[in-house]
A and B are shown apart, each in its own frame.
Chain A
Amino acid sequence: MTDILDNPIIPDFGDKPAPKADAAAPVPGPAAAPAPAPVAAAGPRKIVFIASKGNLDMAYPALIMANAALGEGVETHIFFTFWGFDLITERTMDDLKFTMLGNTAMHLPMAPKVPIPQLLGALPGVTFATTKFMRKQLDDLEIPSVREMLDIIVASGGHLWGCKLSFDMNGLAEDDLYDGVEGVISASDFIELSEGAQVIFV
């Protein structure tokens, strides 16, 4: 039978150091050993994702990590640029595709060792089939659609931004964009926005 600790172990909830002084009896035990100073960043953590790809498979990294960051109480922004703009364009966002072309890591889950020739991906209908297959895999794992992921991110307090240059290149109007997009901003705006943030390019 192990000893019973009298003080509870409280998970890191990321809140400011406990305001209640009464509960702040010095914590005994090894936990009190001087911890290495937390990484440089001062102030609350902030993450900015740059979503630059419009393929179905490459839509998810930023969305899933952004959603996770919000759940961890981190201020989160996503900046959609170039092909990534398809994720927030009404006309395209529900119809992203997955192609095996140019993806040398392509393999079938049920037969991982069977080589898949690159040229196969160029045949008519193959992108349709691979997209359908990937969507089914995502559904089976209960991964939300791109639109639903964005809905969740916005509801969780995340911020979505479009890139001005991509917006102009695509000849879009504000009405063409997903509702949750807060604004279309320039490169300089983005640099200001990302001050003090961890920036992750996808």
Chain B
Amino acid sequence: MPTTRIGGRPIDVNDEGFLTVYEQWDEDLAPILAGYAGIDELTEDHWKVIRFLRADYPARKETATLRRVSTVGGFDMKELFRLFPGKPAKKMSYIAGLPKPKGCV
């Protein structure tokens, strides 16, 4: 597993670039990751999703799928596609410093 330098500090990632250590992420890192994912500015709406993902992960040890973010987190699906255009599930998990979701739905 490679280690890269993001935001001036070493960060462990997998071969695809997703962060592998939950604790290495903090809120200062998110805007930098968002920039890499093509999102120039994190609004409060982005943050709500990111905080949900961060809070949901530890108990399940699995990143919430889009559907889970929508049903459990209470976010509107269209809104999620607007906030994280293109590949929303990958972008939001990357910015939240989590692995990409494994679930099919």
Residue on A with the closest CB to B17? A9
Closest 3 CB pairs of A and B: A9-B17, A155-B77, A73-B86
Question: With a CB–CB cut-off of 8 A, which chain B residues contact A71?
Answer: 66, 87-89
Q: A8-B36, A71-B66 are in contact. Are A15 and B10 (CB under 8 A)?
A: no
Tally of A interface residues using CB under 8 Å: 29
Q: Which one, B1-9, B46-54, B55-63, is touching chain A?
A: B1-9
Q: Distance in Å from the Cβ of A105 to the closest Cβ of chain B?
A: 20
Given contacts A9-B2, A10-B17, 9 further A-B contacts (CB under 8 A): A4-B3, A8-B13, A9-B13, A11-B37, A12-B16, A13-B37, A64-B104, A71-B66, A73-B85
Whether B28 is near chain A, meaning CB under 8 Å from some CB there, is no
Residue on A with the closest CB to B78? A155
Chain A residues at the B interface, C-beta cutoff of 8 Å: 2-15, 18, 64, 67-68, 71-73, 142-144, 149, 152, 155-157
A13 in contact with B90 (CB, 8 Å): yes
Q: In whole angstroms, how far apart are the Cα atoms of A8 and B36 in the complex?
A: 9
Q: Number of contacts between A and B (CB, 8 Å)?
A: 80
A13 in contact with B2 (CB, 8 Å): no
B67 in contact with A152 (CB, 8 Å): yes
**What are 12 pairs between A and B in contact, CB < 8 Å?**
A5-B5, A6-B4, A8-B11, A9-B17, A11-B16, A11-B18, A11-B94, A15-B38, A18-B38, A73-B87, A142-B105, A156-B66
B5 in contact with A64 (CB, 8 Å): no
Q: Distance in Å from the Cβ of B93 to the closest Cβ of chain A?
A: 9
A6 in contact with B5 (CB, 8 Å): yes
A5 in contact with B67 (CB, 8 Å): no
Partner of B4, one of A9, A14, A142: A9
Q: Distance in Å from the Cβ of B51 to the closest Cβ of chain A?
A: 21
Q: Distance in Å from the Cβ of A24 to the closest Cβ of chain B?
A: 12
Question: With a CB–CB cut-off of 8 A, which chain A residues contact B81?
Answer: 156-157
